[in-house]
Structure 1
Amino acid sequence: MVNRSQNVYIIAEAGVNHNGSLDLAKKLIDVAAEAGADAVKFQTFKADNLVRKNASKAEYQTRTTDASESQYAMIKKLELDEEDHQILIQHCDHRGIQFLSTPFDFDSVDLLVHKFNVKQLKISSGEITNAPLLLKAARSSKPIILSTGMSTLGEVEQALAVLAFGYTEPDSMPSIEAFHFAYCSVEGQQALRQNVVLLHCTTEYPAPFEDVNLRAMDTLATAFGLPVGFSDHTSGIAVPIAAVARGAVVIEKHFTLDRNLPGPDHKASLEPDELKDMVRSIRQVEAALGSPLKTPAPSELKNISVARKSLVAARTIREGEIFTTENLTVKRPGDGISPMYYWEWLGKTAEKNYEADEKVRR
């Protein structure tokens, strides 16, 4: 579960890359656990509740699957039933990684919340205008990670208003006015801060780098005062690493066992070694972020005297001689008088003899 005071929460997005195979799904869990991800995420849905029979596919789906097949037929083969969920959750427990899933309908929310008591819910970008589902999710009282792909700032605010109402008004009749009132209330804002993480996202597979707009993470954080992460659909691992450097508290990334497998999302997913590289790089970056204080790091202290310089005699100097730019210079090591005092020494009288390269002393 996301802990905002600890490390970046890394979600390895298995999604539907199990291709309807329980064995493949378990292998994906193994890969995510071995990579060091915090959670592995699947998708929970019933095709009959999710899509009309004649709904067309997205452009990227027609490129990676049978173009003549309907969206309904494609996703029907990718459903995970209750028993599948039980097996996968148990396998996650065995591998020490959190099970996470995105529900797409009321039945799926009930399954995840009431049957399996998941710790949190992930809501996809496509559901950000699905007020009934948002309300259902919030009234489960579970924390929510909300992706914001394809959204305007106003649409994100409307979605948050529904969530605020759901968290604070478990029995009241929903309405646009009630959502607005809940969002503007102290209780509603507090509920959002306690329960919601926003994910910036570009909903294209793969997403063009020029469409990512990582700076929008800052806009979301400023506008709503909520922790912000990044759900990545670009190729490679550079962008999620950059997102961590910009302050992302959650990273979500699709992965697969093999990009050449059939299915809608494999082509835009990381393979196992790439997932490991991403997790390792994120951990290195968050360690490097450190403190905002500009002070010498403990590892630097031993190098200060070696790298810095001191005031030294440029040539032999006799007692009573005046220090000048010709006989006073600056050289390593920095275990003597700092060169910051160079000008204060010019014009002073030497109180002892100095050999060339000898440190001057007070």
Structure 2
Amino acid sequence: MSEWVQIGEEIVGRHRPTYVIGEIGINHNGDVAVAKKLIDVAALAGAQAVKFQKRTPDIATPEDMKHTRRETPWGEMSYLEYRYKVEFETEQYAEIAAHAAAQGVDWFASPWDVPSVQFLEDMGVSTHKVASASVTDHELLRELASTGKPIILSTGMSTLEQIDAAVEILGTEKLIVLHATSTYPLPPEEANLRTIPVLAERYGVPVGYSGHERGLQISLAAVALGAVAVERHITLDRTMWGSDQAASLEPHGFMSLTRDIRVLEKAMGDGVKRVMPGEHKPMQRLRRDTSTVGA
């Protein structure tokens, strides 16, 4: 078990700056130029990292969906063809990695299958993210554990027993757990933020929050409840084509989120009740102390 986990040059855990992740996912729609612009957004906002998704489409696409026809910006095609259309390979990720490094932002991804783990290892990522959909993919979890890298585990659509089994495989030495609800977009009544301290107590590891809601309030409340990391989907425009765009933050929203997280960090304090420096003059001017009268 560990109170802190190092990811790249960042220390993630209690009493550290909240680790903010801009989830690009597949909101780039297969366009490296869009991916770079989203990295720029994350860097300008002050986020420490961006995250992508990595699939081997032939493996990660369910058999019953491979030949389903789908309307896309490139015309009608099978779901499998669409998956290949939005997938980056080595050349594109090398370009993305260089751009992220130039902007001072770390990058990593959620691998959705075993070959994708090795692909990301070859790219030299500092950590791996387990998507909520992969919590019960024990073959994938064992492959991730074998890398020895820090692991960020999202817990959407999972029971405690399923999370227990995943944590047993991954270990707790370099693990960060993210509370999440996999409803897109997330209604407030399904956020269940009080789960954050429950997970921290149960697993003894840093716990953060991966949000799919509209707006900022729920993510900020997660930080107030102890989330050490916040992950939010980002987009250039919520009206862009793609299943995750509507539940994403546009540039101004993401910059507002990171700004407000930093303000909230300062406001949380240390929990020790005392007279603050700014209170001394008002106290002298306004307070009438009769505590010693009649003593």
TM-score (norm. length: structure 2): 0.90
Corresponding position: 1:8 with 2:14: no
Distance change (3 Å), C-alpha of 1:162 and 1:72: same
Residue type matched to 2:291 in 1? M
Please name the residue that 1:269 is paired with.
Answer: 248
Corresponding position: 1:94 with 2:102: yes
Q: Structure 1 stretches of 5 or more lacking a match?
A: 165-191, 310-337, 345-362
Please name the residue that 1:175 is paired with.
Answer: none
Cα distance between partner residues in 1 of 2:243 and 2:83: 9
Cα distance between partner residues in 2 of 1:63 and 1:278: 33
Distance change (3 Å), C-alpha of 1:215 and 1:71: farther
Please name the residue that 2:286 is paired with.
Answer: 307
Question: 1:149: Cα distance to partner?
Answer: 0.3
Cα distance between partner residues in 2 of 1:13 and 1:274: 13
Cα distance between partner residues in 2 of 1:239 and 1:29: 23
Question: 1:343: Cα distance to partner?
Answer: 3.3
Distance change (3 Å), C-alpha of 1:110 and 1:53: same
Cα distance between partner residues in 1 of 2:254 and 2:155: 23
Q: Are the aligned partners of 1:54 and 1:70 in contact in 2 as well (CA < 8 Å)?
A: no
Question: 1:154: Cα distance to partner?
Answer: 0.7
For this pair of structures, how many residues does the alignment match?
282
Question: 1:247: Cα distance to partner?
Answer: 0.3
Distance change (3 Å), C-alpha of 1:339 and 1:69: farther
Residue type matched to 2:186 in 1? A
* Structure 2 residue matching 1:87: 3-state secondary structure: helix
Please name the residue that 2:4 is paired with.
Answer: none
Corresponding position: 1:133 with 2:84: no
Cα distance between partner residues in 2 of 1:237 and 1:69: 36
Q: Are the aligned partners of 1:64 and 1:264 in contact in 2 as well (CA < 8 Å)?
A: no
Distance change (3 Å), C-alpha of 1:72 and 1:301: farther
Question: 1:70: Cα distance to partner?
Answer: 5.1
Q: Are the aligned partners of 2:72 and 2:82 in contact in 1 as well (CA < 8 Å)?
A: no
Corresponding position: 1:340 with 2:291: yes
Q: Are the aligned partners of 1:259 and 1:266 in contact in 2 as well (CA < 8 Å)?
A: yes
Cα distance between partner residues in 1 of 2:72 and 2:194: 30
Question: 1:14: Cα distance to partner?
Answer: 0.7
Q: Deviations over 1:265-290 (max 9, x none)?
A: 11110100000000001111111111
* Structure 2 residue matching 1:300: 3-state secondary structure: helix
Please name the residue that 1:326 is paired with.
Answer: none
How do 1:1-362 and structure 2 match up within 5 A?
A: 1=7, 2-4=11-13, 5-55=15-65, 71-113=79-121, 115-164=122-171, 192=172, 194-309=173-288, 338-344=289-295
Larger strand proportion, structure 1 or 2?
Answer: 2
| Runs of 4+, deviation exceeding 6 Å | 62-66
Distance change (3 Å), C-alpha of 1:71 and 1:243: farther
Higher relative contact order (CA 8 A, sep 6+): 2
TM-score (norm. length: structure 1): 0.74
Residue type matched to 1:44 in 2? K
Cα distance between partner residues in 1 of 2:119 and 2:66: 27
Q: Structure 2 stretches of 5 or more lacking a match?
A: 1-6
Q: Deviations over 1:127-166 (max 9, x none)?
A: 10000110100110000000000011111000011113xx
Q: Deviations over 1:63-94 (max 9, x none)?
A: 9999x865434322210101111110100000
